[in-house]
Amino acid sequence: MKEAIVVKNLTRRFDELVAVDNISFSVDQGELFGFLGPNGAGKTTTINILATLLRPSSGQAFVAGYDVTQHSNEVRRNIGIVFQEIALDSKLTGQENLEFHAMMYGLAKQERLSRIQEVLHLVNLIEKRDVLVENYSGGMKRRLEIARGLIHRPRVLFLDEPTLGLDAQTRRHIWEYIQKLNKEEGVTIILTTHYMEEADNLCHRVAIMDQGKFVALDTPSRLKDILGGDVVTLELDPFFPEVKCKFEYLSWIKTVKRHKNSLVLTMEKAEKRIPELLRLAEVNGSRVTSVHLHKPSLEDVFLHFTGRRIREEEASLQERNRDRFRHHFRRR
């Protein structure tokens, strides 16, 4: 299968900050590929490089067979992009927004009108085509942006946090449209998200990013299989490190990770092992105050590779960015 995207040793620096750190990967034509990670992990920077909006500090990237730095115009003709922030003209109707965009891409009148009807049907907005965008809901605006990104029949579509800020029900509707256009239009989709469930449900493969690097890359099912079995979270009061050591010596426990005052364990047939886990914790001085049992998720995979949950990583990144801003301001 031919590759829609090829990236080799891609790096992007902003002064002392390395936003994208020597990543390499490829995406097949027709694949729905996800970048998963907290805000600030390097997802959007990577997308901006692939979409020719940023130049890499080093490394190479090819989209639809074209080098993003040497043949940026050809790349742009072959891609569509939906940004995090809504970028529609609210004083125009849905159809007028699409028509303006189609004219910018040089579509002839008949092709333009035909294509507008096609993409409006695809995202279920044909009935709202003559409504001003200022009267659209958040979900309708996002669907219109997806339609706009498809108007010129791109080979690759970039969706940067397409469901950010939407309620759960609207988010699931957007998932349906993304899957539909991937299957019916055959377009390669690159999706960035920090919603674990979104990546798990939509993507054929997922790259988990942390501080500009890939910490894992595979199908969601294979990533979860890395952990194996079931995941048990034990909250301990008080927490004694000796309890963690005791669990690590047990052959039937595959992994043991500490998370604050909890231990996250992976094992087979966990429901039969929980009584023994409670007993072992108690004899080693800790009382188990809560037990949670579930199948592995991408959140567990992120915790496994980074030692942190994605929301905590977001908070940490925001704090580091604030520190960098204060440092930069003091230097000025």
- Tens of pLDDT, residues 66-102: 999 999 999 999 999 988 888 899 999 999 999 999 9
For residues 258-277, give the mean pLDDT: 90
Residue 317 CA to residue 315 CA, distance in Å, equals 5
Q: Give me 259's structure tokens.
A: 């998370």
Average pLDDT across the chain, whole number: 89
For residues 189-217, give the mean pLDDT: 93
φ and ψ of 4, to 5 deg: -85, -30
> What percentage of the chain exceeds 70 in pLDDT?
93
The CATH number of the domain covering residues in 228-295: 3.30.70.100
Question: Among all chains, which residue has been given the structure tokens 């809560």?
Answer: 290
Strand-pair partners of 233: 264, 292
Strand-pair partners of 263: 234, 258
Q: Give me 248's structure tokens.
A: 């690590």
For residues 108-136, give the mean pLDDT: 93
Question: Is the predicted pLDDT of residue 152 greater than 80, yes or no?
Answer: yes
**Helix then strand then coil, % of the chain, to nearest 5:** 40, 30, 30
pLDDT band at 173 (very low <50, low <70, confident <90, very high): confident
For residues 135-152, give the mean pLDDT: 92
In Å, what is the CA distance from 133 to each residue of 83, 91, 98? 17, 6, 11
Question: Is the predicted pLDDT of residue 14 greater than 90, yes or no?
Answer: yes
Strand-pair partners of 253: 267
pLDDT band at 31 (very low <50, low <70, confident <90, very high): very high
pLDDT band at 40 (very low <50, low <70, confident <90, very high): confident
Q: What is the residue type of 296? A: P
pLDDT digits (tens, 9 = 90+) for 129-138: 999 999 999 9
Q: What is the DSSP letter of 126?
A: G
pLDDT at 328: 44
3-219 CATH choice from 3.40.50.300, 1.10.3210.10, 3.60.20.10, 1.20.120.450: 3.40.50.300
pLDDT at 318: 53
Of 29 and 167, the structure prediction assigns the larger pLDDT to 29
Domain ranges of the chain: 3-219, 228-295
Question: Among all chains, which residue has been given the structure tokens 């992007």?
Answer: 12
For residues 160-173, give the mean pLDDT: 86
Looking at the chain, list the stretches that DSSP marks H as alpha helix, in order from N- to C-terminal side: 43-50, 72-77, 94-104, 109-122, 138-150, 168-184, 196-202, 220-225, 241-248, 270-283, 298-306, 310-331
Peptide bond into 238 cis (omega under 30): yes
Residue 304 CA to residue 42 CA, distance in Å, equals 20
3-state secondary structure of 321: helix
pLDDT band at 169 (very low <50, low <70, confident <90, very high): confident
Question: Is the predicted pLDDT of residue 330 greater than 70, yes or no?
Answer: no
pLDDT band at 329 (very low <50, low <70, confident <90, very high): very low
For residues 40-68, give the mean pLDDT: 95
Question: Is the predicted pLDDT of residue 36 greater than 80, yes or no?
Answer: yes
**Rounded to 5 degrees, what angle do the CA atoms 95, 96, 99 make?**
85
pLDDT at 325: 44
Residue 33 CA to residue 204 CA, distance in Å, equals 6
pLDDT band at 1 (very low <50, low <70, confident <90, very high): low
pLDDT band at 113 (very low <50, low <70, confident <90, very high): very high
Question: Is the predicted pLDDT of residue 332 greater than 80, yes or no?
Answer: no
pLDDT at 313: 57
For residues 315-323, give the mean pLDDT: 53
Question: Is the predicted pLDDT of residue 323 greater than 80, yes or no?
Answer: no
For residues 104-108, give the mean pLDDT: 90
